[in-house]
Structure 1
Amino acid sequence: MERPLLILIVMCCYLYSCKLVLSGQAIESPRYKVVHSESDFELRQYRESSWMSALVRETNSFEKATKDGFHRLYQYIHGANLNTSDITMTAPVLTSIVPSVHGPAEYYVRLYLPAKYERTPPQPSSDLNLHFDKWRSHCIAVRKFTGFAKDDHFHKEFETLVNSLNKHLNGKPAILEYKSSYAIAQYNASYHLSGRLNEVWMDLSGFTSDC
């Protein structure tokens, strides 16, 4: 009887944690200021930030990669680290997509680390295969979109952002960094059926004096 009860408790904690992360009820998010805004995108300058990252390979599914990566990150923030520390949930869940001409894309699923851990986060358990990423202050072009971020249409949102940027970059010396790479940020729980918020992120420099 003890094992089924333990499994039930773990699953309840997992679902509750997912709710906190994806519903935007998290305590901390990466800090930024908006330096330029248009009707179809905005440019944000993010401060330095620290992330824990899960690399997922050998799948063509953005949804599967996000699920697999988040599962490993969930274990990390709930004690699967050398300090057995519980780490506060943050938002958004960020999945970076790096296409490859020789096979499936690589996916980096990330969680922002709270400020108290930005310099020396607990070391993850080796079996989780997680990596600590330190991001410098930089600018990101952002497009918001609603609904669910699904395999059959999330890339179209990226293409729409690129088209918008190309239109507004006409005559400007701005640089789209890593033109084929981008990220999807998700803010809502799966049960949240209406009013959902997602974002496409793409690195950008040279658009304004701040970036």
Structure 2
Amino acid sequence: MFGVIVSSCILSLSLGLLVRDQHAHPNLPGFCNNLDCPRFSVLQTFKAGYELRQYEASKWVMTNLTTMVFTDADDKAMFDKLFYYISGNNSIHSKIPMTAPVLREVFHGPGPTCESTFMTHFMIPFSLQSNTPAPTDPHVYIRDLPVMKVFVRTFGGRPAAEDYMNELQTLADQIGTSARYESAYYFFAGYDSPYKVSNRHNEVWLKAL
């Protein structure tokens, strides 16, 4: 169902490069690692272990790539563009605190020989959501995500590309015909530094319709 190639180094964070926002929201879940993180409410928890969440509207910095085969080099290049933005490659030439998660959205092509579009996002910190510095890289954009409901499956470990895809398929199978969800695109979310050993937190999302 979800036959898209995804990089095995997806959603990596460097522990030594995280800059924490001194005004981080105090009620965010622990898996946000004391970083600003999109606010949500859990609408329903299902026996199979997944959730239906409603996310508040939020602002993100993102970059995108349309390709037939998405490689580790592509993944790193996209991450680096966003990291350069928060490191000062922005209109105020200022460092911006890191947030969580690193969010990957994938619009998969209609067939195995079609290109797919990959979008990597960092959320803009709460303190800058209403006055966001513009990117100076023409391939980096500011994006507003509206209020949305998503089905979420959580899992641990250090997932490779096939693990994300397997978890996504499991989530789709668990939902089955009990609810409708967007099948043209999906999300992967990673919250942890690669140096974190235990209690790692990863998610796959399907937007509820």
- The normalised TM-score by structure 2 is 0.79
Amino acid in the other structure paired with 2:41: K
Secondary structure, aligned partner of 1:163 = helix
Shift of 1:62: 6.4
1:79 correspondence with 2:84: no
- Structure 2: segments with no counterpart, 5+ residues: 1-13, 21-30
Distance 2:125 2:197 in 1: 28
Matches within 5 A, 1:38-187: 38-39=46-47, 40-58=49-67, 60-61=69-70, 63-100=72-109, 101=111, 102-127=113-138, 129-166=139-176, 169=178, 174-177=179-182, 179-187=183-191
Q: Taking structure 1 as reference, are residues 65 and 146 closer, same or farther at Cα in structure 2, changes over 3 Å only? A: farther
Q: Mark the structure with the bigger radius of gyration.
A: 1
Amino acid in the other structure paired with 2:69: N
Shift of 1:63: 4.7
Cα pair 1:96 1:183 within 8 Å, conserved: yes
Amino acid in the other structure paired with 1:51: W
Cα pair 2:44 2:53 within 8 Å, conserved: yes
Let me know the Cα RMSD of the aligned residues. Answer: 2.3
Distance 1:115 1:19 in 2: 14
Of residues 26, 32, 36, the one that matches 2:40 is: 32
- Structure 1: segments with no counterpart, 5+ residues: 1-13, 206-211
Cα pair 2:15 2:194 within 8 Å, conserved: no
Bigger share in helix: 1
Secondary structure, aligned partner of 1:183 = strand
Secondary structure, aligned partner of 2:173 = helix
Q: Deviations over 1:38-64 (max 9, x none)?
A: 132001111111111110233624654
More deviation in 74-83 or 143-152? 143-152
Q: Deviations over 1:83-107 (max 9, x none)?
A: 1021111001111111113434221
Distance 2:33 2:167 in 1: 25
- The normalised TM-score by structure 1 is 0.78
> What is the aligned residue count?
184
